[in-house]
């Protein structure tokens, strides 16, 4: 989420317990945080819990917020921690912050070489196309999906993504590449099939 699209929030007013400013911050960030949570957890009730806990936590920790990171980075970090807590509780076998052997190399070899990039935009972004993309993102393994969501959907830097997930920047880069290549494979398969179908209809 680009900072410029969001109204200016005064950190000083927040720290002075200005409720109107806090309400402004909630309105500015609640939609992207809810959407991110929904994509991380795939469940509306869990996403709402993350949303509420994020702002309750922010309220408690405002006196400690020194403004060294932006308000958005600070809130996303809280939201990610809340989401990770829910994930760990529900799926204790998943450990996002641990590096594993697959973090050493991207190790995904492209197998689909369909040149679908030049398809018209309205075809790429058809209702079915968007659904295919959403499903493909949901199917990514959690440790890749979290990195991908923060970096490619929330537009966090590699460093901010690494900080939010307590990972090294090198691990973030490898996971990001794997996630992007996995999505590319799935979209290539989908658009390849569509191109074949269109050709046979000609």
Partner 1 sequence: MTESTHNTCEGLLGSLSDYIDGELGAELCRQIEKHIAECEDCRIVVDTTRKTIDLVHASNDPQSDLPDDVRSRLFKRLNLDDYLKPSAR
Q: Which stretch binds partner 1 (CB under 8 A): 46-54, 70-78, 163-171, 194-202?
A: 46-54
Site residues for partner 1, window 146-165 (CB under 8 A)? 152-153
Minimum CB separation of residue 62 from partner 1 in Å reads 12
- 92 contributes a contact to partner 1 by CB under 8 A: no
- Which residues, at least 6 apart from 99, have a Cβ–Cβ distance to it below 8 Å? 167, 168, 171
- 48 contributes a contact to partner 1 by CB under 8 A: yes
- 117 contributes a contact to partner 1 by CB under 8 A: yes
How many angstroms separate the CA atoms of 114 and 195, rounded?
A: 9
Candidate residues 17, 23, 85, 104; the one interacting with partner 1 per rule CB under 8 A? 23
Which string of b and e fits 29-43 if b means at least 16 CB within 10 Å?
beebbbbbbbbbbee
Measure the CA dihedral 164/170/171/172, to 10°.
Answer: 50
- 76 contributes a contact to partner 1 by CB under 8 A: no
Closest CA to 42 of 179, 134, 130, 147: 134
Q: Which is nearer to partner 1, 27 or 91 (CB)?
A: 27
Q: Which is nearer to partner 1, 44 or 98 (CB)?
A: 44
- 13 contributes a contact to partner 1 by CB under 8 A: no
How many angstroms separate the CA atoms of 202 and 199, rounded?
A: 5
Token representation of residue 180: 């992007």
Token representation of residue 102: 């697959």
Enumerate binding residues for partner 1 (CB under 8 A): 1-2, 5, 19-20, 22-23, 26-28, 30-32, 34-35, 48, 51-52, 55-56, 59, 106, 109-110, 113-117, 121, 124-125, 129-130, 133-134, 137, 152-153, 173, 176-177, 180-181, 183-184, 187-188
């Amino acid at each position: 989420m680009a900072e410029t699209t969001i109204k200016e929030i005064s950190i000083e007013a927040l720290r002075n317990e200005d409720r109107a400013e806090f309400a402004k911050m909630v309105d500015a960030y609640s939609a992207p945080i809810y959407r991110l949570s929904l994509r991380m957890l795939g469940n509306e009730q869990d996403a709402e819990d993350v949303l509420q806990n994020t702002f309750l936590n922010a309220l408690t920790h405002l006196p400690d917020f020194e403004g060294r990171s932006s308000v958005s980075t600070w809130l996303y970090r809280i939201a990610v921690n809340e989401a990770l807590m829910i994930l760990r509780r529900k799926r204790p076998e998943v450990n996002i912050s641990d590096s594993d052997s697959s973090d050493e190399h991207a190790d995904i070899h492209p197998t689909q070489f369909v040149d679908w990039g030049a398809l018209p935009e309205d075809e790429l972004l058809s209702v079915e196309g968007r659904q295919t993309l959403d499903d493909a993102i949901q199917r990514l393994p959690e440790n890749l999906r979290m990195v991908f969501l923060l970096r490619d959907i929330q537009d966090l830097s590699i460093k901010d993504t690494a900080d939010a997930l307590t990972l090294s920047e090198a691990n973030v880069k490898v996971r990001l590449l794997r996630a992007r290549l996995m999505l590319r494979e799935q979209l290539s398969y989908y658009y390849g099939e569509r191109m074949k179908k269109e050709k046979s209809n000609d």
